[in-house]
């Protein structure tokens, strides 16, 4: 803006002034314009304001984004725990650890899945199976409803875990390869579809029929319209201290990654940490169940949109690095 820090300075001059690459500064400018457009209707004015900030600090908008990430995690902890000067000792029951005396009445009637919901999920499961484009020898073994909405610990942030059950070995003996293939198919599906029942999103997972179910929660066969494993009412015993410690650990890691200058390396590091979190969650859920520490850590981060922030950051990095502006 007139009289601002960037008066008469071009983007290359600002880059030279701070000894940063034009590519990184261009990325910051795009982020800056997007941010400032939240406060003005003029793109020209938003650009001028962003240029002023970058003339003073070439990483201004990265630091601003870090502050927002930090605020999100802190808010998550504040809503998940009773505030205290020390590590909190009591979890609020209205966030992650809700526990009800009855199954969610929006889904269940007389301990069976409501007929209209069952039919809809059955059709969805069959349709998804068809989109996998598998060989005709691969048969659909079952469609399973599982997760917190099949149990007593559902919340407003719960999702519907819909498992498509097949025998991985009907495809290949390399079950790791098969799993990775299905994870890619799932990512493609989620990028273009957003199926919900009421307000609850449906998350689909292709499960191997030989997968261990020890430690897992309740499971309802949609194909056969009966319980495979009924939910058990048992108030959870949660290690609140360890949950706090692990959430803070990942907060620190994500903040450090967000400050990295190498954009593509930043994505690699995000992916490594996310993979670790998901692996820990999967293993803990299988052996310890829904209320394992790692599963609850995952849910705190997910429900407070931390993963969404990282996903948007990764997307923006790729767009900025590989896009060309003809102007």
The residues with which 144 forms a beta bridge, in sequence order, are 163, 221
Place of tokens 């990028």: 191
Q: Is residue 86 domain-shared with residue 129, that is, in the same domain?
A: no
Q: Is residue 152 domain-shared with residue 222, that is, in the same domain?
A: yes
Q: Of the residues 229, 247, 271, which one is the last residue of a structural domain?
A: 229
d(CA 313, CA 263) in angstroms, rounded, equals 10
Whether residue 90 is predicted with pLDDT greater than 70 in this model: the reply is no
**Mean pLDDT score, 27-34:** 85
Q: Is residue 179 domain-shared with residue 257, that is, in the same domain?
A: no
Residue 85 lies in a domain: yes
Domain region containing 38: 11-58
226-229, strands of its sheet edge to edge: 196-197, 200-208, 160-166, 142-146, 219-221, 226-229
Residue 185 lies in a domain: yes
The residues with which 61 forms a beta bridge, in sequence order, are none
Q: What is the pLDDT of residues 150-176, one digit of tens each?
A: 998 888 888 999 999 999 999 999 988
Q: Is residue 132 domain-shared with residue 215, that is, in the same domain?
A: yes
Q: Is residue 49 domain-shared with residue 82, that is, in the same domain?
A: no
| pLDDT range class, residue 73, cuts 50, 70, 90 | very low
Q: Is residue 177 domain-shared with residue 79, that is, in the same domain?
A: no
Residue 293 lies in a domain: yes
Q: Is residue 212 domain-shared with residue 252, that is, in the same domain?
A: no
**Mean pLDDT score, 283-305:** 82
Does the CA dihedral 120-121-122-125 come out positive or negative? positive
| pLDDT range class, residue 69, cuts 50, 70, 90 | low
Domain count along the chain:
3
Residue 159 lies in a domain: yes
Q: What percent of the chain has pLDDT over 70?
A: 85
Q: Is residue 255 domain-shared with residue 313, that is, in the same domain?
A: yes
Q: Is residue 151 domain-shared with residue 212, that is, in the same domain?
A: yes
Average pLDDT, the chain: 82
Q: How far apart are the first and last CA of the chain?
A: 21
Q: How far is CA 156 from CA 110, 221, 295, in A?
A: 22, 23, 17
Tell me, yes or no, if the pTM score tops 0.75.
Answer: no
Give the CATH number for residue 156: 3.30.460
**Mean pLDDT score, 264-284:** 91
Residue 106 lies in a domain: no
Q: Of the residues 174, 194, 229, which one is the last residue of a structural domain?
A: 229
Q: Is residue 311 domain-shared with residue 242, that is, in the same domain?
A: yes
């Amino acid at each position: 803006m007139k009289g601002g820090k960037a008066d008469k300075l071009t983007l290359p001059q600002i880059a030279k002034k701070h000894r940063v690459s034009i590519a990184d500064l261009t990325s910051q400018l795009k982020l800056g314009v997007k941010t400032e457009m939240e406060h003005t209707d003029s793109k020209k004015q938003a650009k001028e304001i962003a240029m002023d900030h970058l003339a003073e600090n070439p990483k201004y908008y990265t630091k601003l984004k870090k502050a927002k990430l930090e605020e999100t995690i802190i808010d998550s902890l504040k809503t998940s725990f009773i505030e205290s000067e020390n590590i909190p000792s009591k979890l609020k029951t209205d966030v992650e650890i809700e526990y009800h005396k009855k199954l969610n009445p929006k889904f269940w009637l007389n301990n069976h899945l409501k007929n209209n919901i069952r039919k809809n999920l059955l059709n969805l499961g069959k349709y998804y199976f068809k989109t996998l484009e598998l060989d005709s020898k691969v048969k659909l073994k079952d469609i399973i409803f599982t997760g917190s909405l099949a149990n007593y610990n559902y919340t407003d942030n719960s999702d519907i875990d819909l498992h498509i059950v097949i025998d991985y070995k009907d495809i290949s003996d390399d079950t790791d390869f098969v799993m990775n293939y299905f994870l890619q198919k799932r990512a493609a599906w989620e990028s273009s579809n957003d199926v919900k029942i009421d307000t609850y999103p449906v998350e689909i997972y292709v499960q191997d029929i030989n997968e261990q179910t020890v430690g897992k929660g309740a499971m309802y066969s949609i194909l056969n319209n009966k319980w495979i494993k009924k939910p058990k009412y048992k108030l959870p015993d949660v290690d609140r201290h360890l949950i706090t410690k692990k959430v803070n650990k990942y907060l620190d890691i994500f903040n450090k990654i967000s400050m990295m200058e190498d954009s593509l390396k930043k994505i690699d590091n995000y992916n490594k940490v996310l993979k670790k979190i998901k692996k820990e969650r999967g293993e803990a859920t299988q052996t310890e169940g829904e209320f394992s520490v790692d599963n609850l850590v995952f849910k705190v981060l997910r429900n407070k949109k931390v993963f969404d922030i990282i996903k948007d950051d990764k997307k923006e990095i790729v767009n900025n690095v590989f896009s060309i502006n003809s102007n």
